[in-house]
Structure 1
Amino acid sequence: MLSRLRKKITGIGESQNNKNIYIHIGISKTGTTAIQKFFHQNTGLLASRGFHYIRAGRAEGGASHHQLARVYKMDDACSGEVSAIRNEIGNSDCHSFIISSEMFEYLTRSQIKQLKRDFEGFELILVVYLRYQDQALSSMYNELVKKHACTVSFSEHLRDTPRKGLLLYGDMLKSWERELGKKNIRVRIFDREKLTGGNVIKDMLTAIGINDLNVDTPGFAANQSVSSAAISVLRDINAQMDYSVDHAAHYGLACRLALILDKLVRSKFPELDHDTNNYFSTKNDYEELMEYYRRDNVRISRRYFFGGNFSLRNFSPAGEITEKSKRDILMALVERLEISAERVDKSATELTKLVAEYWSEELRRLCGS
């Protein structure tokens, strides 16, 4: 009954004249925000090449199709989003259509099956970017600390994060391949040396068959990572804060201190380590993690990269920040935020508490709670 109702609402079964739908699923921290913003801001240019960036399925004014992805994650049996997308495609002269949300990465096989049924009559083509797991975990850690959502060291984070298991990419790719077929799975590596023109947007255009679009494309830092030196200081500040910001509702505010600190550290302390992709302090920790992914990465290399290497790479330890450097950074931050520190012991510990107290009050005021 539900399947008949869904078919009636969405118009499943109608001929679509072999139109393509490209489903870009990220993964997270692979330049997805930059790609989505580019598609959103260049709809006319894309249409001139026969490509249409779907408007339905996005939050009002948003660039990503998170709203549509949530439909499937919630197992919604009769979604108006699907009907709106099919109508939008039916009213377009374009031959290819694009949907993009990193939330699609988390669909189960049954949810992918439902998506396939909902868009019966179209050729569904998956585009996914994979990131080396050490960099992916480092980048996610950076993001969590950046928005005040993490207070522990990287090694502690690795022990507890569920993200570690999700980066066994083989199972995710297998689920999509079983529904769409291997010929419709386009796997790319998020590595500047392997991206077309060293740029994720140009590479994405190439992946969907647009090779002649002569436009300026930004790099893949739309969702900016923060210097590792700044992250070391910010993590300690997070641990002392007494206000927990809702980063889903106030993402920009949640990241404000991190961006101030990042700019300050890069300009005033250029000699420190600013790498944003590596938080491994020892080679043993690094190799132990990559051994966890080795067999899965070998299978991925053989199946999607013709045996090309997607596995263990050269290791270099993360730089360490001294207590003196931490104190100097905190003093500069206190000055930048115009916080009075006259009555405070100028140790790194006390300065950290001072900034945490000040910023907790700022967020409480700015977020209206």
Structure 2
Amino acid sequence: MSKKIIIHIGRHKSGTTSLQTFFSCNKEELISAGIYYPEIGTRDGAHHLISELILDRTVKGVSISDVLKENLMSRFLNEITSVKEEYILISSEGFQNISPSIVRKTFQEFEVYIVVYFREQLSYLKSSYQQEVHATNLCCDILEFEKTFKVNFLEFYHEWEREFGKKNVIVRIFDRRYLVNSDVVDDFFVSILNEKFSLFPSVKQPSLDVFTTNLSLSGRCLSFKLRFNKFFPVRQNIPNYLYYYLAKFSEKEKNINYVPDDLVNELIEKYRESNLMLMDELGLDKSFFEISKPDTFQELNLLGPKQFLKIFLEIIAVENRFKECLSRFYSYSQEPFDGIRKLVFCDNINLDSISYIYFCVNGVDVPVMDMCFFISNELWITNDNFKLVSSVKLRFDDSIFVELAEIDGVNS
């Protein structure tokens, strides 16, 4: 009897991280129920190294037979064929990006079942956008992001059904109203492992933190990260700890509806027919996948320099290493110009929002707003008393001020 492989392919933003954490933390319990969750090819508890290898090689034109000979794949396949368990459970949302025919050829020696969770497109779009802003340097608005967002689930389902058959492609709806106990982990274990395969592992609840729950940003934190991404040097790596602290701060933020009504209506029209056809094919209630209009629209704007600095200082208060980023957002350079002293501020600084500018001369902070003039983000001053300036400070109000770093070519 050939082994049965259950491949959980996502999709993204449908509780994948929670499921993978559970699988990884409950390996012994899964084994006791006859399910093996492979160790080789995992990263952060999921088989991302396997899906990424297959996608990378096949996109480059490498045949699947040659991919299977590579060291990682060879060891992975040897692991799952050598264990005594009848069921092999594999999980990585990276598989959703691979051609189903390639996945079938990869596991052609096995009886394969595909498990996928679909999330209603508006919620999916918003969550994906927030996560992309959070984890990368994306700084476009959601209208631009949506242009690259293709989520026709009917077409996606048909691609997998053609390769594996209707009985072997298991679709669940990622919506708390329809998940078992409103929980994706309970849903997977009850609706799939228990009801579909008659497997009953006894599982334990792992301890989850923001590293494993993969929180999206909201409120001020989303606006902060958008501004951070806009002005952070592209060639530099964003500190990993920023992901952690913004997620923690975001837990207290209100999740507003910033998706414009026109885009909401466009999504409803674009996917209404295909969603209804998918529900009909799967024999599910058509209300399962309705895109409902959200609350009143509230525009999502980049934070201004003052509010941006306020959150910056809040993060520094709990993570001192974040100070290293401050100079990239609050800095200036000096340029001589015909006897006139010219200070050029970095792009993040909007001089219109500043209440006071101070030059530190001989240890004394001297206000200079009334002694200079501004052109764009440049400060010009002719007063000879300021030839020995040791530092420059900005004050946004009575409580928020920052000392600028002097660097060469602030916007280079």
Tell me if both proteins adopt one fold, taking TM over 0.5 as the criterion. yes
The 2-side partners of 1:242 and 1:353 are apart by 20
Q: Which amino acid aligns with 2:202?
A: L
User: Who is 2:368 aligned against?
Assistant: none
User: Who is 2:274 aligned against?
Assistant: 296
Alignment equivalent of 2:30, drawn from 37, 42, 46? 46
Q: Map residues 125-204 of structure 1 onto 2, 5 A cutoff.
A: 125-159=113-147, 162=148, 164-165=149-150, 167-204=151-188
User: Who is 2:229 aligned against?
Assistant: 238
Unaligned runs of 5+ in 1: 1-16, 248-252, 361-369
Aligned residues: 317
Partner SS, residue 213 of structure 1: coil
User: Who is 1:14 aligned against?
Assistant: none
User: Who is 2:378 aligned against?
Assistant: none
Specify whether residues 102 and 351 from structure 1 end up closer, same or farther in structure 2 by C-alpha distance, changes over 3 A only. farther
The 2-side partners of 1:273 and 1:152 are apart by 21
Q: Deviations over 1:244-286 (max 9, x none)?
A: 4457xxxxx34x335434544655xxxx6335xx431x32321
CA positional deviation for 1:329: 6.2
User: Who is 1:119 aligned against?
Assistant: 107
The 2-side partners of 1:326 and 1:195 are apart by 42
CA positional deviation for 1:104: 0.8
TM-score (structure 1 length as normaliser): 0.74
CA positional deviation for 1:21: 0.4
Partner SS, residue 344 of structure 1: strand
More strand by share: 2
Alignment equivalent of 1:36, drawn from 7, 10, 20? 20
State the structure with bigger RCO (CA 8 A, min sep 6), 1 or 2.
Answer: 1
Partner SS, residue 317 of structure 1: coil
User: Who is 1:274 aligned against?
Assistant: 255
The 1-side partners of 2:222 and 2:298 are apart by 12
Q: Contact conserved, 1:170 with 1:300, CA < 8 A, in 2? A: yes
User: Who is 1:67 aligned against?
Assistant: 49
Q: Contact conserved, 1:273 with 1:319, CA < 8 A, in 2? A: no
Q: Deviations over 1:29-79 (max 9, x none)?
A: 1121221122112111100011000223335xx422222223432224322
Q: Contact conserved, 1:233 with 1:326, CA < 8 A, in 2? A: no
TM-score (structure 2 length as normaliser): 0.67
Unaligned runs of 5+ in 2: 59-63, 318-322, 331-357, 359-392
Q: Contact conserved, 2:33 with 2:200, CA < 8 A, in 1? A: no
Q: Which amino acid aligns with 2:268?
A: M
% identity of equivalent residues: 26
Q: Map residues 284-363 of structure 1 onto 2, 5 A cutoff.
A: 284-309=262-287, 310-320=289-299, 327-328=306-307, 330-337=309-316, 343-346=393-396
Q: Map residues 7-18 of structure 1 onto 2, 5 A cutoff.
A: 17-18=1-2
Please, what is the CA RMSD of the aligned residues? 3.4
Partner SS, residue 7 of structure 2: strand
More helix by share: 1
Q: Contact conserved, 2:215 with 2:247, CA < 8 A, in 1? A: no
User: Who is 1:215 aligned against?
Assistant: 204
The 2-side partners of 1:226 and 1:174 are apart by 33
